[in-house]
Every structure is written in structure tokens, then in C-alpha cells.
Amino acid sequence: MQKRILITGAAGFLGSHLCDRFMAEGYEVIGMDNLLTGSLDNIQHLFPEKAFQFHHHDVSTFVHVPGELDYILHFASPASPIDYLKMPIQTMKVGSLGTHNLLGLAKAKNARVLIASTSEVYGDPTVHPQTEEYWGNVNPIGPRGVYDEAKRFQEAITMAYHTFHGLETRIVRIFNTYGPRMRLNDGRALPAFLHQAITGKDLTVFGDGSQTRSFCYVSDLVEGIYRLLLSDYHLPVNIGNPDEITIKEFAEEIISFTGCDQKIIYQDLPKDDPKQRQPDITKAREILGWEPRVSRREGLKKTYDYFKKVIDKQQAAEAVS
Ligand code: UDP
């Protein structure tokens, strides 16, 4: 029997890649998105497929899906610091009310649900690298609080549905991920640097650039999520690439990779910006037999090609108008 899966945030960066993966695995995929930050461009190629359908809907309000469901992936949420600063209430609602609605739907359909959590639950971590046992260091009323606390609530209510209702739940803690279909202007470091390098602008490093991140290529992340969904492990699992780099070195790497001759300019560090971030992926290795395979060099090349194509298209359209 063909399995049916609901993917929320389907028109977003991660959601659209997940739609592709489950379509390729032979599932019937129901994509849902309110298109607040997602774009239909990311899933346009799926519309002719019989096994794909799309619902334009905000999961913060009651979610109705006719028929049976085997799985639900909850990936709807603004996910870049700039986005959740601009949309703090929607960010809180989709992580809290949206998750509640999807857990209710999963219970009604007897479906297994996987929710997208984040390394942001660790806040500005005092434990390094971050293991799943670490409880985090989050400022609830800071600018990131709307995202971080919504995601922490999301984990709590998901565990409550698991223990109280016996629902089959999975929780993935996603670390910084990149790849084609990221929005060019979502304010994140990687799209900002690539966009700046391609369009001849100086690269904006926030603070002194000594803060670290660890970037995972999207196909690796999708593989980890796929394995987690099909596993029998209900506690949170970190999925990310432990290859850690300072943001300054990362900007330098992009300058040398693209061969551009721009320089780095320094701007104010946003409030509560985590100083370091690196996933401990022991659990993913042991439980899922998973580890990242795509190097930053290889991943950057694919992402660069995508950005270049999109920017060339934009520039050509501007030249005509
Ligand atoms: N950052 C930067 N320049 C930019 C955008 C981001 O130096 O133009 C920094 C940001 O302050 C953070 C890191 O890069 O320290 C990663 O930021 P991003 O927004 O990609 O994700 P975060 O991991 O903070 O959620």
C-alpha cells in the first residue's frame, strides 16, 4: 500500500527537499504551507505529479486533511533570525498552536509525527559540542526567544502526547543547514555572503566573526530525517555537520571560493547571537547509522551554482523592465 505523508512548510527550503525525497520513495505527499516565507517555485515541479497535492493553509488554525495519514512532518516555521524578528507572533503560533494542531491530527489519524526542532533550543550554549542531554541557555524574552521558546514548547508538548496518548513521535534538532532553494535574502550568513560575493558587495560579518557555526548540506540533513522517521527512537536527535568554522573564516572561504575581490566589513553583533555551535552526533551515528557525507566545498559549489542561476535570472528580468 502506498504510504501517505503530510509535510508542513512544504514550500520552504527544507520542506521542499523533503517533499522530493518522499516522492522519490514512492509516497503520496500532501504538502501544506501558508507561503509566509515559503515559495511555490520550490515545489512547482511537483504539481504535475499524481502523488502530490498542495494545500494552502496556515497550520496555526485547525488542520483538516481528508483520508488516512501514515506520517506527518512538521516543518512549517519562519527559521531565520531576520524572519522571526519580523514575524514574532506567527513564529510563536506555528511552533505552539501549529504543533498542537498537528499532534491532534496525528492522534486522530493514528499517524507517526516528526517535528522539526532546532539547535536554538540550546540557546547560547555553555556545553560544547552540544549533546542532546544539554538543557540549553535560552533568553526567553530576547529577540530569539520567540523562536527558541516556541521550539522548546514544541518539544515539551510532543513528549506529552507521546507519554500521555502513546503517540508515535520523533524529534529532530536541526543545526545550520544550507543548499539550493535557500532564500537569497533571508538574512542568514550563507545566503548573505554568497549573494554579496556574486553581486559585488562587501561581505558583512557581524561582531568580530569569532562566533562559530557548523554547516550541514541539505541532502545529508534529509537523509538523517528520513532515517529518524523510520527508526523507533522517540527522544530528540541532533542532525548536523560537526565541521565547525568561525564566521570570519567562513566569509574568507566564500571570498576565496568564488574568486571575488570584495573585502569583509564588520557590523554589530545581533543580541543573544550564540558564540559557538557544533552538534555532537554520537546518537545519530549509533541509532541511525547516519553521518554527513557532503563536504563544505562540495556543498558550497552546488549552492553557489543555484544562487548564481537565480541571481542571473533576476538581473536579466531587471534589465528588461
Ligand atoms: N552573520 C554574519 N553576517 C551576516 C549574517 C549572519 O556575520 O550577514 C552571522 C550571525 O550573526 C551568526 C552567524 O553568522 O553569528 C550565523 O547566522 P545565521 O543567521 O546564518 O544563523 P544562526 O545560526 O545565527 O541562526
CA–centroid distance, 77 to ligand 1, in Å, is 18
* pLDDT of 181 above 90: yes
**Nearest CA, atom 4, ligand 1:** 189
CA–centroid distance, 84 to ligand 1, in Å, is 14
Which of 151, 178, 188 most suits a substitution to test ligand 1, by most atoms within 8 Å of the C-beta?
188
CA–centroid distance, 79 to ligand 1, in Å, is 12
Burial class (CB in 10 A: 0-12, 13-18, 19+), 189: buried
Q: Regarding beta strands 52-56 and 169-174, do their DSSP bridges make them parallel or antiparallel, or are they unpaired?
A: unpaired
Kindly report, residue by residue over 6-62, the tens digit of the pLDDT.
999 999 999 999 999 999 999 999 999 999 999 999 999 999 999 999 999 999 999
Which grid coordinates are listed for 61?
488554525
* pLDDT of 185 above 90: no
Residue 84's Cβ-side half-sphere holds a number of Cα atoms within 13 Å equal to 23
* 171 within domain boundaries: yes
* 268 within domain boundaries: no
Give me the pLDDT at residue 144, please: 96
Burial class (CB in 10 A: 0-12, 13-18, 19+), 175: buried
Give me the pLDDT at residue 318, please: 87
Give me the pLDDT at residue 159, please: 98
Domain of 115, CATH number, reads 3.40.50.720
How many domains is the chain partitioned into structurally? 1
Which of 14, 190, 213, 244 most suits a substitution to test ligand 1, by most atoms within 8 Å of the C-beta?
213
Question: CB of 214 within 8 A of CB of 244?
Answer: yes
CA–centroid distance, 144 to ligand 1, in Å, is 13
Give me the pLDDT at residue 227, please: 98
* 313 within domain boundaries: no
- The answer, yes or no, to whether any atom of ligand 1 lies below 6 A from the CB of 273, is yes
Give me the pLDDT at residue 285, please: 98
CA–centroid distance, 186 to ligand 1, in Å, is 11
Q: At 211, which helix (H) or strand (E)?
A: none
**Nearest CA, atom 14, ligand 1:** 189
Q: At 217, which helix (H) or strand (E)?
A: strand 216-217
**Nearest CA, atom 5, ligand 1:** 189
- The answer, yes or no, to whether any atom of ligand 1 lies below 6 A from the CB of 196, is no
Atom of ligand 1 nearest to the CA of 144: 25
CA–centroid distance, 270 to ligand 1, in Å, is 9
* 34 within domain boundaries: yes
Which grid coordinates are listed for 224?
538523517
Give me the pLDDT at residue 195, please: 96
Q: What is the mean predicted confidence (pLDDT) over 78-88?
A: 94
The rounded distance, in Å, linking the Cα atoms of 244 and 166 is 37
* 211 within domain boundaries: no
DSSP letter at 279 equals: B
User: What b/e sequence results for 246-284 when a residue is b if at least 16 CB atoms lie within 10 Å of its CB, and e otherwise?
Assistant: bbbebbbebbebbebebebeeeebeebebebbbbbbebb
- The answer, yes or no, to whether any atom of ligand 1 lies below 6 A from the CB of 266, is no
Give me the pLDDT at residue 162, please: 98
In terms of pLDDT, which residue wins out, 158 or 84?
Answer: 158
Active site residues: 147
pLDDT band of residue 216 (cuts 50, 70, 90) is very high
* 306 within domain boundaries: no
pLDDT band of residue 319 (cuts 50, 70, 90) is confident
Give me the pLDDT at residue 21, please: 98
Give me the pLDDT at residue 39, please: 97
* 261 within domain boundaries: no
H-type helices in 231-321, by residue range?
Answer: 247-258, 282-283, 296-320
The owner of cell 512549517 is 76
Atom of ligand 1 nearest to the CA of 269: 11
Host domain of residue 105: 4-179+216-241+274-294
H-type helices in the chain, by residue range?
Answer: 13-24, 81-86, 88-109, 145-165, 189-199, 218-230, 247-258, 282-283, 296-320
- The answer, yes or no, to whether any atom of ligand 1 lies below 6 A from the CB of 206, is yes
* 204 within domain boundaries: no
